[in-house]
Amino acid sequence: MKILLKLVVTAIAVLVLANLLPGIYVDSFWTSLVVAVVLGLLRLIVKPVLVLLTLPITLLTLGLFLLIVNAIIILMAGYLVSGFGVESIWYALIFSVLLSLLQSVLFGLIKEE
């Protein structure tokens, strides 16, 4: 039940950020829900591989390259989900940072009872 609630919260966050950022496009709430699922799966499957492949540059930049890895995952989601679009890697980077911040705040409101 908690996972479904987090998916819905992430979908709402995606919708809010798509309305705030001009380079991010989402067709509907259902599309944002699919984006939330795809982002979760990409973060689960693809992110560890990307982190491992980019480990030297990540260590060299003291972890800042992980922001680029997150932006690449956002771009991959934009490629995989029709109805969700990202214009450039810069918008993906901004979207990734803002989504992480918004998720932190919203998930903090959903506490273990």
Q: What is the pLDDT of residues 40-64, one digit of tens each?
A: 999 999 999 999 999 999 999 999 9
Using H for helix, E for strand and C for coil, what is the string for the chain?
CHHHHHHHHHHHHHHHHHHHCCCEEECCHHHHHHHHHHHHHHHHHHHHHHHHHCHHHHHHCCCCHHHHHHHHHHHHHHHHCCCEEECCHHHHHHHHHHHHHHHHHHHHHCCCC
How much is the pLDDT for 92? 96
pLDDT tens column, 68-108: 999 999 999 999 999 999 999 999 999 999 999 999 998 88
pLDDT above 60 for 113: no
Give me the pLDDT at residue 111, please: 75
CA torsion sign, 33 to 37 to 38 to 42? Answer: positive
Q: pTM above the 0.75 mark?
A: yes
Report the pLDDT value the prediction gives residue 3, as an integer from 0 to 100: 87
Looking at residue 40, its pLDDT comes to 94
Q: Is residue 13 predicted with pLDDT exceeding 90?
A: yes
Does the structure show a pLDDT above 60 at 24? yes
Nearest Cα to 96, choosing from 43, 45, 57?
A: 43
